[in-house]
Amino acid sequence: CPIGPALLFVKAGQGKEEGRRFYACSACRDRKDCNFFQWEDEKVSETRLAAREEYNRIHQPPFTHSQNMERYKNFVLLPLSKRRFCQECQQLLLPAEWEKHSDHQFLCDISTAQLKSPSQLLYPLENKKTNAQYLFADRSCQFLLDLIIDLGFRRVLSVGTPRLHEMIQSKASQEDFKVRSLLLDIDFRYSQFYTEDEFCHYNMFNHYFFGGEAARETCKKFLYQDNGERVIMVTDPPFGGLVEALASSFKKLMAMWKETEKEGRNNQEMPMFWIFPYFFESRILEFFPSLNMMDYQVDYDNHALYKHGKTGRRQSPVRIFTNLTPSTIVLPAEEGYRFCAVCQRYVSSGNQHCEICNSCTSKDGRRWKHCVLCKKCVKPSWFHCNNCNCCALQNHACEKTDAGCFVCGKAGHKRSACPSLSRT
């Protein structure tokens, strides 16, 4: 489809019936956004292949990355009064193009500062669930960058983190700032502002570089660490995305990093921050057992629910998963984080060390309580239910014994958690 190779899925069969496998778009869960569909064993005719190629071609962006770079060079030569940005087309306009966009809304007097913060100029995409853009609040972005610098990294592979990339880029133009960043993102609008060495059009659900071999080389070259310039990958994928697909791509990026050194790195992994909600912890650890979840709450600008909760607003459920030693990830004391000497990591102020679990067990920052029957700590709002034999909200509907799984028919789990699905 237009955004690269499709992924192989399985349509759940009912009961004992085998599921049927098919290819569909790697990023769009909604057929309205991309209707690519093909059974695994389906024969595709030459005509249909040709039509598909044609369709993919016309669904590419109007300008290539290098054309956008040419345009940018011309754009910055213009006097302020002639620098326009079309809000409808999300595009920098050259004077010869004004006419064509005459009935569109536009911004004028685009300053150099604005060109350096494209994430403020572009509107965040939110139409498609899997493509939604949630931009870091300045506080969180600054925290991440300081942490990266304190840990001694000099290169950041920014996968779906345009705002972090932007912060690094604008500091890089100042003296004495040695950190560099390469942005990999599916949002092609960024190619108007960054060169081919700063931005690659990339799909993180299928590890697809739209710019082909040249872009792949750019990425590989960036990952090569000369004179000890250590690299870290930071990613903040859309939360609706498939963890499996993301993990598979990240493993390929890690393999790319490994390839850059001939002797190999004695089984070391490329250092990584994967930013994702805490309730995906077990999914993420399934694919990356080397990752640990940190208590730091990552905040966003344009997400009402995920803002930092000092004034009684909800707290952010988004965390940092990292393969670096937890004790080295120092969290800000002024925001209430403290070091737990037993766990050897920084935890939120409300996270109490449980003597029975022998760990700081809270996931959401509130103080959790230990249930002796469940033999683990649970959310403060939960109570042990003797019917269900586990802890749950007080007013939960007890699990009905007759409602079996839609896929395998067995009781005790729902279709989404069916063990017979995880094999495919």
Question: Which residues of the shown chain bind ligand SAH in the complex (CB under 6 A)?
Answer: 27, 131, 133-136, 160-164, 185-187, 202-205, 236-238
Contact of residue 101 among Zn ion, ligand SAH, none (CB under 5-8 Å per partner type): Zn ion
Phi/psi for 222 (5° steps) reads -65, -35
CA distances from 406 to 11, 19, 58, 419 (A): 12, 12, 40, 12
Q: How far is the CB of 184 from ligand SAH (least distance, A)?
A: 7
Comparison of 14 and 142: residue with beta carbon closer to ligand SAH: 142
Comparison of 214 and 356: residue with beta carbon closer to Zn ion: 356
Comparison of 300 and 368: residue with beta carbon closer to ligand SAH: 300
Q: How far is the CB of 349 from Zn ion (least distance, A)?
A: 13
Comparison of 316 and 351: residue with beta carbon closer to ligand SAH: 316
CA distances from 2 to 34, 53, 310, 355, 375 (A): 9, 9, 44, 54, 50
Helices (H) and strands (E) in the chain, counts: 10, 22
Instruction: Using CB positions, name the residue nearest to ligand SAH.
Output: 160
Contact of residue 88 among Zn ion, ligand SAH, none (CB under 5-8 Å per partner type): Zn ion
Comparison of 160 and 365: residue with beta carbon closer to ligand SAH: 160
Comparison of 220 and 370: residue with beta carbon closer to ligand SAH: 220
Cα 263 to Cα 253: distance, rounded to the nearest angstrom: 18
Q: How far is the CB of 362 from ligand SAH (least distance, A)?
A: 24
Contact of residue 180 among Zn ion, ligand SAH, none (CB under 5-8 Å per partner type): none
Contact 24, 9 (CB under 8 A): yes
Cα 379 to Cα 417: distance, rounded to the nearest angstrom: 21
Comparison of 131 and 328: residue with beta carbon closer to ligand SAH: 131
Question: Taken in order 284, 288, 291, 292, is the CA torsion positive or negative?
Answer: positive
Comparison of 305 and 374: residue with beta carbon closer to Zn ion: 374
Please report which helix (H) or strand (E) contains residue 112, including its range: helix 112-116
Contact of residue 285 among Zn ion, ligand SAH, none (CB under 5-8 Å per partner type): none
Helix-helix angle 162-172:138-150, to 10 degrees:
60
Q: How far is the CB of 95 from Zn ion (least distance, A)?
A: 14
Q: How far is the CB of 159 from ligand SAH (least distance, A)?
A: 7
Q: How far is the CB of 64 from Zn ion (least distance, A)?
A: 19
CA distances from 234 to 141, 154, 323, 325 (A): 11, 13, 12, 16
What residues line the site for Zn ion (CB under 5 A)?
A: 86, 88-89, 101, 104, 340, 342-343, 353-354, 356-357, 360, 370-371, 373-374, 377, 384, 391
Angle, CA 291 vertex, CA 315 and CA 282 arms, to 5°: 65
Q: How far is the CB of 403 from ligand SAH (least distance, A)?
A: 35
Contact of residue 172 among Zn ion, ligand SAH, none (CB under 5-8 Å per partner type): none
Comparison of 303 and 353: residue with beta carbon closer to ligand SAH: 303
Q: How far is the CB of 220 from ligand SAH (least distance, A)?
A: 18
Cα 162 to Cα 151: distance, rounded to the nearest angstrom: 21
Comparison of 225 and 248: residue with beta carbon closer to ligand SAH: 248
- Residues ≥6 apart with Cβ < 8 Å to 342: 353, 358, 359
Contact of residue 164 among ligand SAH, Zn ion, none (CB under 5-8 Å per partner type): ligand SAH
Q: How far is the CB of 4 from ligand SAH (least distance, A)?
A: 9
Contact of residue 202 among ligand SAH, Zn ion, none (CB under 5-8 Å per partner type): ligand SAH
Nearest CA-CA partner of 391 in 382, 399, 404: 382
Task: For 270-297, give the DSSP string.
Answer: --EEEEEEGGGHHHHHHH-TT-EE----
Contact of residue 131 among ligand SAH, Zn ion, none (CB under 5-8 Å per partner type): ligand SAH
Amino acid code (one letter) for 221: K
Q: How far is the CB of 340 from ligand SAH (least distance, A)?
A: 27
Residue 148: strand, helix, or coil: helix
Roughly how many angstroms between the first and final C-alpha of the chain, as a whole number? Answer: 22
Contact of residue 86 among ligand SAH, Zn ion, none (CB under 5-8 Å per partner type): Zn ion
